[in-house]
Amino acid sequence: MYAITGITGQVGGALAHHLLAAGLPVRAIVRDAAKGAAWAGRGCEIALADMHGTAALTHAFTGASAVFVLLPPNFDPTDGFPESRAVIASLRMALQAARPERVVCLSTVGAQATQPNLLNQLGIMERELGTLALPVAFLRAAWFIENSLWDVAAARDGVIPNFLQPLDREVPMVACADIAALAAELMQARWDGVRVVELEAQERVSPNDIAAGFARLLGHPVAATAVPRDTWHDLLTSQGMRNPVPRSQMLDGFNQGWIDFEGGPHMSRKGGTTLDAALRALLERA
């Protein structure tokens, strides 16, 4: 049995499709039965559990050959990340009690960075789950190309505002389809102790590359423009964020180059989805 948290999301859902296509039994872990109905229709076993519910998570993880876990995204955390720490503690206790054969945990590029930033949440998760007496693999994924879904409307209008800058700086990115494919591979693998696997696309991507990709697919010029750094705090606050500092620090990390893979680009696994293919899928969704 292969248990998946986050199955209603982009990566978890694609991972489930990979495993089901391979004829493997999947346990979909969802917060309520309504969210699991579609997966039940695809032949999945359904387990109801909230990420804070240690007892329910333990039940959902028990008997699993492999468990896929991820930290629910929190882009506007309280100082010290108490929300994420609570989820991590619940996951750790449940995994320790259930003792699945192995654990695949979705992490991030830059999880090892010590500078304060939003991704420190994933570093905390790696440190905590890495102490389990279980085989644990941390899949450190690059910046999701699918984040560009938020840019589709702007691309149609011809100008995409960017926090990533300078606009020609290439950063590690990857498509969710490639993350799911590697997660499926890891779920079926065997190893001892802790593994770290870092994943990005074949080529690194700049904001100018994304604008050019949209231009090719839309058939009209699209330009990237930089959002001035000194406007970020007020802009993010105006959008409803209470604590924009960690997010701004994360963006600084990408822009300054201290958020990157621990093993560097020569050591990372490479996905097969091209930038244009990923952007085309976003245009079809929007």
Cβ-contact 276, 214 below 8 angstroms: no
Closest Cα to residue 148, out of 192, 201, 199? 201
Residue numbers of the chain with a pLDDT score lower than 70: none
Cβ-contact 232, 63 below 8 angstroms: no
The first and second tokens of residue 233, run together, are 């705090």
- Residue 123: HSE in the Cβ half-sphere, 13 Å Cα cutoff: 18
Dist CA 249 CA 256 (whole Å): 10
Enumerate the domain spans of the chain.
2-144+173-201+258-272
Residue range 2-144+173-201+258-272, CATH number: 3.40.50.720
Looking at residue 161, what is its pLDDT? 98
Closest Cα to residue 51, out of 15, 20, 10, 5? 5
Dist CA 67 CA 1 (whole Å): 9
- Amino acid residing at 248: S
Closest Cα to residue 247, out of 72, 255, 60, 264? 255
Dist CA 50 CA 62 (whole Å): 15
pTM > 0.95: yes or no:
yes
**Which DSSP category does 267 fall into?**
T
The neighbouring-strand residues paired with 107 are 140
Closest Cα to residue 176, out of 164, 188, 184, 168? 184
Looking at residue 193, what is its pLDDT? 97
Cβ-contact 198, 126 below 8 angstroms: no
Dist CA 220 CA 17 (whole Å): 35
Residue keyed to tokens 């290439």: 170
Number of other CB atoms surrounding residue 122 within 10 Å: 25
* Structure confidence by residue, pLDDT tens digits, 130-155: 999 999 999 999 999 999 999 999 99
Cβ-contact 226, 165 below 8 angstroms: yes
Dist CA 89 CA 98 (whole Å): 14
Which stretches within 109-256 are classed as H helix? 120-129, 152-157, 176-187, 207-218, 232-238, 245-256
Looking at residue 286, what is its pLDDT? 80
